[in-house]
Amino acid sequence: MREEIVADVLGREKDGEERVLSKKKVDCLVGAREKNMRDMLAVLRKDFGSAEEFVKEKCAFGSEDVEGVRSALVVDVAPCHYAGGVVAG
């Protein structure tokens, strides 16, 4: 999914125009270090109760919008098997 977003953003630049964003800069825009993401989620939970409530309140997302984002970001994975047993995905 991330690669698709980067390709989409880079693909929006028109032919002949100077490239404003490099692939590296776009990668930074659509990615986050785990610690930074966890810290941001903690702030959203503290201030709004959840990330979902934040986007509903501050971004005017409806329930359908939230579900669309959720379905794009959350994937079901098969359990991981290892010698000691099974670990949930």
Joined tokens for residue 21: 């964003």
Q: Please work out, in degrees rounded to the nearest 5, the angle formed at the alpha carbon of residue 51 by the alpha carbons of 45 and 53.
A: 95
The domain tally of the chain equals 2
> Residues 6 or more apart from 81 whose CB is under 8 A from it?
87
What are the structure tokens assigned to 26, written together?
């776009």
13 and 51 both lie in a single domain? no
- 58 by Cβ neighbours in 10 Å (0-12 / 13-18 / 19+) ranks as exposed
Domain that holds residue 10: 1-31
pLDDT digits (tens, 9 = 90+) for 2-34: 566 656 655 655 555 555 566 666 666 666 778
- 45 and 21 co-located in one domain: no
63-80 confidence digits (pLDDT tens) = 999 888 888 877 676 666
Taking the C-alpha atoms of residue 21 and residue 10, their distance in angstroms, rounded to an integer, is 7
